[in-house]
Amino acid sequence: MNTYESLSYCHLDARHMLGRVHSLDTFSAVDGPGTRSVVFLQGCMFRCLYCQNRDTWDMAGGTLYSATELIEEMLPYKGFMKATGGGVTVSGGEPLLQREFVREFFHGLHYEGIHTALDTNGYMPGSHYDGYLEKLLEHTDLILLDIKHMDPVQHEKVTGMSNAPTLKFARHLAEIGQAVWIRYVVVPGLTDQPENAEALAEFLSPMTNVQRIELLPFHQLGAHKWQLMDDQYRLSGIQPPTPSRMRALAEPLQSLNLTVTWA
């Protein structure tokens, strides 16, 4: 019997609930508060032009883990997490596509007293929210919600998908008072329009659950993954946004009296 299976929490679901995991990052300082371990899940419905994890799109890829196995991978780093106010972040890919598995994983992490964060684009298949989502949110301390674009036409151009599910998810989180950090990737020529930042500020203004807004400058660090996947990368000539552009986009968001960060 391994370490985690000896704990009273561990039950049949945790041992047999399987998820597809792309990779693990044991030390991160940019995926939520404190020092965190990050689990990148496999599978995503979005096709973001600037995606830095192109190799996570395939729903059938990755390595199968049980929730128990994945919890055991996190336990050696529990001390570092506690000392820095950190925890575990699940990213992707899109974790909501494996919400049953993430719920079981987060349930076990909470049993261990480990802070949980979900990095998501807010996409939920279907027209309604099922019970697994609510059970997942019960064990989620923080949502890192990626809003790609406020304009529906431009959002589809950037991601291949509608932004309606993401905005619906954001409103739902506001209704239930779920703690949220908003993340927004700034790509010159695609997402750096001042009017989009203003629209984002207007959308977020009534939401008292939003704690922080992170403006993330576009970079080319994931371009090689597109080549490895034998896929065309359409942003090879795009340079990172200038500091002045980042400051200009931050201005309307700072009017919300929230912490706004940008590099």
**Parallel, antiparallel or unpaired: strands 18-28 and 36-41:** antiparallel
Please answer whether residues 178 and 209 qualify as being in contact, where contact means their C-beta atoms are separated by less than 8 angstroms. Answer: yes
Asked if residues 171 and 205 have their Cβ atoms less than 8 Å apart, the reply is no
Using alpha carbons, list the distances in angstroms from residue 175 to 134, 143, 154, 178, 244: 13, 14, 27, 8, 35
The span from the CA of 211 to the CA of 120, in Å, is 16
Domain ranges of the chain: 4-262
Q: What is the per-residue pLDDT across 169-199, written as a single tens digit (0 to 9) for each?
A: 999 999 999 999 999 999 999 999 999 999 9
Other CB atoms within a 10 A radius of the CB of residue 198 amount to 16
Cβ 137 vs Cβ 122: under 8 Å: no
In this structure, how many other beta carbons lie within 10 angstroms of the beta carbon of residue 190? Answer: 20
Question: For the CA atoms of 162, 167, 173, 174, what is the dihedral angle to 10 degrees?
Answer: -170
Handedness of CA 141, 138, 163, 91 (dihedral sign): positive
Q: What is the pLDDT of residue 216?
A: 96
The residues pairing with 146 across neighbouring beta strands, listed in sequence order, are 183
Architecture of the 4-262 domain: Alpha-Beta Barrel (3.20)
Give the per-residue pLDDT at 208. 96
pLDDT of residue 6: 43
Q: Per the structure block, which two tokens stand in for 107? A: 């349930």
- The two three-digit tokens of residue 245, written as one number: 């552009």
- Among residues 219, 257, 10, 240, which one has the least CA distance to residue 112? 10
Q: What is the number of residues in the chain?
A: 263
Q: CA-to-CA distance for 183 and 18, rounded, in angstroms? A: 28
pLDDT at 132: 78
- Supply the pLDDT for residue 12: 46
Distances (CA, A) of 192 to 148, 161, 242: 11, 19, 11
Task: Tell me the sheet residues that pair with 222.
Answer: none
Contact call for residues 88 and 116 (beta carbons, < 8 A) = yes
Report, as ranges of residue numbers, the positions in the chain whose pLDDT lies below 70. Answer: 1-15, 125-130, 263
- Residues 138-169 pLDDT 10s: 999 999 999 999 999 999 999 999 999 999 99
pLDDT value, residue 219: 92
Angle at 44 between CA 41 and CA 47, to 5 degrees: 135
